């Protein structure tokens, strides 16, 4: 299957956002997935892993650099990353951009609007969950190496702005797939379990013999799950 790779800076919510789109060349619109990377990562990592797995199954993807990440790095990054309050100031921007990215994908006319999903890894999973709750055009959600917030002095304040448990409870019919490493020390097993327990049905949690970096099998499993959820090949 031929896949077109598009690297472009697109305008989302008033920001110029670098993106990578992998578009299978098939007759008519194809399903599409917005990919949201983790903390200190970039669009390239998800495009080269899950993006490729999706493309091999006839599903398009678009990975974007979140604020303060990838090629959007600037002199503010180091300071913001040391200060949870500074990070929260950029949270609303990330959410707005993700929501606009869904609209942008559908507006291309190359994505089937009834087969749209969002997948987030680690930090990106929080954005993915909130985006899915805000936009019912998103039919299903994949969370990789994500979970509830850790217990820190900042947790109460952060939860007022970002509460993954509340987002998970609010999915209401949007299927959720969670992928997690049993040895993950960044987002622990207990955090993953709390998020899963809070989530509305339908939901599924798959464990891997891995740490915070999930194995290739996880991306393949996620792609196969989306094929099933989208009803492709029937």
DSSP-derived letter for residue 172 is: T
Q: pTM for this one? A: 0.93
> Looking at residue 67, what is its pLDDT?
85
**Is 90 exceeded by the pLDDT of residue 100?**
yes
For position 159, what pLDDT does the model report? Answer: 85
For residue 16, which phi and psi values (nearest 5 degrees)? -95, 110
Helix (H, G, I), strand (E, B) or coil at 160: helix
The answer to whether residues 170 and 199 touch, using CB atoms and an 8 Å cutoff, is no
Which pLDDT score is estimated for 82?
61
pLDDT in tens, 211-223: 999 999 999 999 9
pLDDT tens-digit readout, 50-91: 999 999 999 999 999 998 777 776 545 555 556 655 666 677
pLDDT digits (tens, 9 = 90+) for 104-142: 999 999 999 999 999 999 999 999 999 999 999 999 999
CB 98 within 8 A of CB 37: no
**Rounded to whole angstroms, how far apart are CA atoms 160 and 137?**
25
Pairing status of strand 176-181 against strand 203-208 = parallel
Q: pLDDT value at position 68?
A: 77
- Helix, strand, coil content of the chain in percent (nearest 5): 40, 25, 35
Domains identified in the chain and CATH numbers:
3-230 (3.40.50.1820)
Please name which of 118, 145, 121, 122 lies closest in space to residue 133, comparing C-alpha atoms.
Answer: 118
In order of 10, 57, 96, the CA distances from 14 in angstroms are 10, 33, 9
pLDDT tens digits along 150-206: 888 878 877 888 899 999 999 989 999 999 999 999 999 999 999 999 999 999 999
């Amino acid at each position: 299957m031929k896949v077109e790779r598009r690297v472009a800076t697109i305008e989302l919510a008033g920001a110029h956002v670098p993106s990578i789109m992998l578009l299978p060349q098939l007759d008519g619109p194809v399903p599409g997935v917005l990919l949201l990377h983790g903390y200190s990562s970039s669009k390239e990592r998800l495009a080269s892993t899950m993006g490729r797995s999706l493309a091999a199954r006839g599903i398009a993807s678009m990975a974007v650099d979140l604020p303060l990440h990838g090629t959007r790095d600037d002199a503010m990054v180091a300071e913001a990353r040391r200060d949870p309050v500074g990070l929260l100031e950029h949270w609303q921007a990330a959410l707005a951009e993700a929501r606009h990215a869904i609209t942008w994908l559908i507006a291309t006319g190359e994505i089937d609007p009834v087969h749209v999903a969002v997948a987030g890894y680690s930090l990106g999973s929080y954005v993915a969950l909130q985006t899915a709750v805000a936009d019912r055009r998103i039919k299903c959600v994949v969370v990789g190496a994500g979970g509830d917030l850790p217990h820190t002095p900042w947790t109460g304040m952060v939860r007022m702005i970002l509460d993954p448990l509340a987002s998970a409870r609010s999915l209401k019919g949007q299927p959720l797939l969670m992928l997690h490493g049993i040895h993950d020390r960044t987002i622990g097993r207990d955090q993953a379990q709390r998020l899963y327990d809070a989530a509305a049905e339908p939901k599924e949690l798959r464990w891997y013999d891995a740490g915070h970096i999930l194995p290739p099998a996880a991306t393949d499993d996620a792609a196969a799950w989306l094929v099933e959820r989208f009803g492709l090949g029937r």
